[in-house]
A = this chain, B = another copy of it.
Amino acid sequence: MTSTKLRIVPLGGLGEVGKNMMVIEYGRDALVVDTGLMFPENDMLGIDYIIPDFSYLRERADMIRGIIVTHGHEDHTGAIRHVIDELNAPIYATPLTRGLLEVKLRQAKMLDKVTLNTVNAGDKVTIGPFTVEFYHACHSIPDNVGLGITTPVGLIVHSGDFKIDHTPVDGQLTDFSKLGEFASRGVLALLSDSTNSTKPGWTPSEAVIDGALDEVFRTAPARIIVATFASLISRIQQVANACVRHNRKMTLVGTSMVENVKMALKLGYLEAPEGLILPLDQALAMPNKKLVIMTTGSQGEPSAIVGRLATGRNRSFDLEKGDTVVISAHPIPGNEETVARTINRLFQRGANVIYDPILPVHVSGHASAEEQKLLINLVRPKFFVPIHGELRQLNQHAALAREVGIPAENIAVVENGTVLEFTEDSMNVGERVPGGYVYVDGTGVGDIGPAVLRERENLARDGFVVVNLRLDRRTGKLAEKPGILSKGFVFVRDSEELFAEAAKKAESAVQHANGKGIARSVEDSLSEFFYSEMKRRPMVFALVNEV
């Protein structure tokens, strides 16, 4: 057995390495850490979300002894139903994370198919050849854990998502003594969250938000609408606390937020005095100065409450002049433009809008450079692997690790799909395994690939034109003028002349069709014509109908 190596394989595409899913394997036994999804980038047209390609996992389905989910955010939980489609291993999660997974599994009608094990920070669980110690780490959701995984070749510390907050909302500090204990036992490798490696200094504590909320609550002349993520339980707690301090009532809008709050209250992760949280209809009957509406839509999503308020399309209530809207979230990369536009529209409709940096109503849940260096120095690993970041963030995290004394040759910056192999005293970059992203669009998982996306890109840029050619079957000549159908290319009603000219070009192309056939001749002729006239390149298709 001494010749067997420990293998760590982050899975997913070009995005954040190891963020959504990671496989840790030794011999014929393996663990999966996290089961997340990613949101599509702006040029992944029409895609709902992205999940890691499971080919590698599928081949090893019989080896997987357990699935560990480190916390309840979408990018760590959102692909659970797709994972359970592939393999059936017991899931390990802390109570809140388990609760949030249950909501998802129930929606997918899969709850009875899985074994869910509750673990708590401080627990030690043996799964196959691995002994996993769960330790508490601060993040922007309660019940978040990092992992100490004792393997046959040594101790691996996986930071999960983390920050080092000395005054967290739930009072739970990152477990420094456990980290120190790991260090004294000797850590073979630290895998650590790189999200904010390009941010110098120290991420502010969630406590700064209380002060910002106090300022908003003190000065707001009427209703306050707070938008955040549905899973940001600690933010909801902070708003509830501010309501108590400033004598306002609170109501929740948005299915996912209502569901999560119900669950968090039940499990004791959210505390609110009796009568603080009102149903929407009762709340809307309160005086405006007494009301806080807590809702989703902090990313400017047009279909979420804040997006609907910004465009005047919300059903249950409207934005009113004098409302104060607090955007208690940062834009997820790629959403900056949409969020900015939503804020502009809220202003346009008479609201005052508060967002970071106007006031610190949100702070990041991830460690900045100084915290990252602290973790490395607390754990003092032999090898260092930056994870949870794009390549640029991993590289900067690697630079920080070198600064604090990890030798460059003991640091591995790898992409998703690259195997890392460890022995008791070595780390090597191994082979690339097949994989990447899988696009989920509607009910289709993985049916959309680069070819369809390229078509969507072409259609998005210049639309299409379909020419219907009705040919006399005896003479082979056009029986009537070609019909033209076009969308997304020009404004059809103002383009009669253009299309009349195009029809003539098509007629001429039919007459002079050469070896490539009538359809192709017409398509080429019209593509060229439209480009020379409009400098646009619609997709052009000719249908030949003999009549």
Contact = CB atoms under 8 A, between A and B. Distances in A.
Main secondary structure of the interface of A (DSSP, over half): mixed
A483 B395 CA distance: 52
A452 B489 contact: yes
B543 A461 contact: no
A546 B543 contact: no
Interface string A198-225: 1110000000000000000000000000
Contacts of A285: none
A85 interface: no
Contact of A485 (B336, B441, B448, B543): B543
B337 A333 contact: yes
A534 B491 contact: no
Contact of A451 (B46, B395, B460, B491): B491
A487 B443 contact: no
A496 interface: no
B456 A460 contact: yes
Range of interface residues on chain A? 35 or more
A396 interface: yes
A392 B343 contact: yes
Interface in A468-495: 468, 470, 483, 485, 487-491, 494-495
Nearest to A337: B334
B460 A348 contact: no
Contacts of A459: 456, 459-460, 463-464, 487-488
Contacts of A358: 198, 396
Contacts of A470: 545
Given A46-B462, A447-B494, A456-B459, A390 B198 contact: no
A454 to B, nearest CB: 9
B468 A487 contact: no
Interface in A312-353: 333-334, 336-337, 340-341, 343-344, 347-348, 352-353
A348 B485 contact: no
A391 B345 CA distance: 8
Contact of A490 (B200, B452, B464): B452
Interface string A497-524: 0000000000000000000000000000
Interface of A: 14, 41-42, 45-46, 198-200, 333-334, 336-337, 340-341, 343-344, 347-348, 352-353, 355, 357-358, 390-392, 395-396, 415, 441-444, 447-449, 451-452, 455-464, 466, 468, 470, 483, 485, 487-491, 494-495, 533-536, 539, 541, 543, 545-547
13 contacts: A46-B536, A447-B495, A449-B491, A452-B490, A455-B488, A458-B487, A458-B488, A459-B488, A466-B543, A468-B543, A483-B543, A485-B541, A543-B543
Given A333-B340, A443-B533, A447-B491, 14 more contacts: A334-B337, A344-B392, A353-B392, A441-B536, A442-B534, A443-B534, A448-B490, A456-B461, A456-B488, A457-B460, A459-B463, A485-B543, A543-B543, A545-B547
